[in-house]
Structure formats: C-alpha cells, structure tokens
Amino acid sequence: MELVLTPVEARVLGSLLEKERTVPATYPLTMKALVSACNQTSSRDPLMDLSETDVEAAVDVLKAHKLVRKVLPSHGNRSVKYRQVAVETLTVDEPQRAVLTVMLLRGPQTPQELKTRTDRLHAFADAEAVEEVLTDMAGWGDPLVRLLPRRPGQRDARWDHLLSGEPDLSAPEPTSPVRTAPAAPAAPPPPVAEPAVHGPLAALAGTWTGPGQGRYPTIVGFSYAERLEVVPIPGKPRLAWRVTTRAADDGRGLHAESGFLRLTDDGDIELVLAMGSGVVEVSTGLVEADGETLELVLSSDTVVGTPTAKSVAATERTYRITGGTLTYEVAMAAVGEPLTPHLTATLQRE
C-alpha cells in the first residue's frame, strides 16, 4: 500500500478502532483517554509509553490520510474528541475490521491467536473462519494483510497487516517498542483457481474493472467505475468476492460489498454478501457453461438490513463471462418498488 504508518500511528488507529467497540458509551475518545488506551499494559505488543504530544502528532497524520477525525466540542462539552473513519476509507466489514484492529495493536499473529483475541470485537466460529477473512484481504488488488513464512521454532505461520508497509522477513523479532519501517520483500503470488476444486467458477477468478450505469424509479440515473475482485480460496469450493464502486464524475465512493461465492455439492451456486449500505444478501442460483461463455444466474433467498438501511425486498443478478469480458445486470425490489432493472456494467479482466 502507498500508506505507511509509523508504530505510533498504528497504535493510535488500533486503539480508536478497539475502543469504539469495547467502550461505546465513552466513545469518541478525549485526548487523555486516547493516550491511556495507547499506553495500556494489556492487549498491547509492544508496550509503549507515549506522551500527549506523541499522540497528537500521530492524530494529525492519520487525519491527513482520512483515517481519523476530530469531533469538535458541542454545547456543554469543552473537550475535543477523536474517532476513527478508517472503516469507511479502507472499506472493511466487521470481521475484517476485527482482525485488522488486533494486528494494529499486537503485531503478527496466527489465525488461532486472532480468533481468541478478537472475541470482544467479532465472534469467529473457529480459526478457519479467521483464515478465510485473512485470505480474502490478502487477495485484494491493494492487500491489507500478508501471510508471513514460519520462523525457526514457530509451529504456525503468522499474518501481519500492511498499513505500516511490507514486513521485513529478514529482520529478527523486535525487542524494543519501536519498529523501523521495513523494506518491501517480493510479494507472494495470489491464490490460483483450481478447476478440480472450484469447477466452472474458476473462470471468474481475477480482478475485473470497468464502467457501469445505475438507474431506478426513485433516483436520478448515474455512471460509475467498478472494481470486482474474485479470489479463490485454496482447497475449498468457494471464492472471496469484493466490489467497490466510485462515481464516474468526481470519484467519490458509492458502494462496497464483500462476501463469498460458493459452489454446492450438486453444482448450484450461493452468493453471500455484506454491503456497506447496511444490507446483507443471500442468493442462490445456477452456473452454466455454453462454449466460451459462462453464465451465473442468482435470485435472492434472503435480504435483511440494519434499522437505518433502505428497505430492499429482493434482488436478481446475472453475470456473463466471455474471454476477458464480464457483463452483468442487477435487478432490485426496494423502497416499495417491484423488481426493476437497477445496474448494468461491462468489466475487463486486468
């Protein structure tokens, strides 16, 4: 990533992400509370003894990167407070946020360690569920985490975040609370689709980008640019799915969704997505290959939303891949409207 945080900046960001979930009643944090969170002696590695000046300097850098914001005093409140906005900037969901928070606070860890240490942030079923999230994040076009090779004496390999740059694999384990910015080693190759495991969905693996159009009876039509990343999970009949879109005119963020596309034992497909708009969608359907064309047709079985999300009753999705081109149409029944065409796009494989 272009973003490279110092150890102090990583500690400040991790502390804000953690406290938003563990002490919501006192969040956003005052400067005094933020310094205390950074210097606490539990759930931190390495331990730090930061001054208010150290933390203020880190906050200024994080603000410039659009990862932290100041909350100005309101009536009757004289203290400036601080909150994180990294979740929106980095477009991470709750499981991804949980593992990223713990790595910012404690450095490289195994999936089992992350599973244990994220319990207050997100309840993972097991270490395998943590590893699936990590593999997804490592496969993004701009990855947030990296799998580290096992060091001598270590039984399991560990994962580390990349917000502080690429980890220096040749360096010894840190013995002091300050880590220098490491040089970037060669990146490992991305996961490769296995036709014997992923079946016809192997043709979908890769990164797809291109323009799209949106319309709906209740909104003004719009144009957007999309990035779709589909990353195969090694050894399992599923692929991690991540979409981000930006407005074509000014580049502002529009939509983000992530989840998994699964191939069932009987050859059908399932798509499970969590969206930044507060909607979760579960769809099932069929995948068909006709010569050089692969087609996926999905209809929603369940669509649920948070209390503040717009009401979505149903969706239908059709994806077609021919060579290096992917086209799709999405229809939606929402806010009282019947099932109506909503999105179309033509994407090219990078």
**pLDDT tens per residue, range 281-309:** 999 999 998 888 999 999 999 999 999 99
Strands 279-290 and 293-305, by their bridges, are: antiparallel
Please report, rounded to a whole number, the percentage of residues in the chain having pLDDT higher than 70. 92
Supply the pLDDT for residue 187: 58
Q: Which domains does the chain have, with CATH numbers?
A: 7-149+157-161 (1.10.10.10), 195-349 (2.40.128.20)
Helix locations, 41-177, DSSP H: 52-64, 86-90, 94-106, 111-117, 127-138
pTM: 0.52
28-32 contact pairs (CB < 8 A, 24+): 28/71, 28/81, 28/82, 28/83, 29/81, 29/82, 29/83, 30/79, 30/80, 30/81, 30/82, 31/55, 31/56, 31/79, 31/80, 31/82
Segment 182-221, tens digit of pLDDT:
555 665 677 889 999 999 999 999 999 999 999 999 999 9
Residues 6 or more apart in contact with residue 20 via CB below 8 angstroms: 27, 83, 84
Segment 117-129, tens digit of pLDDT:
999 999 999 999 9
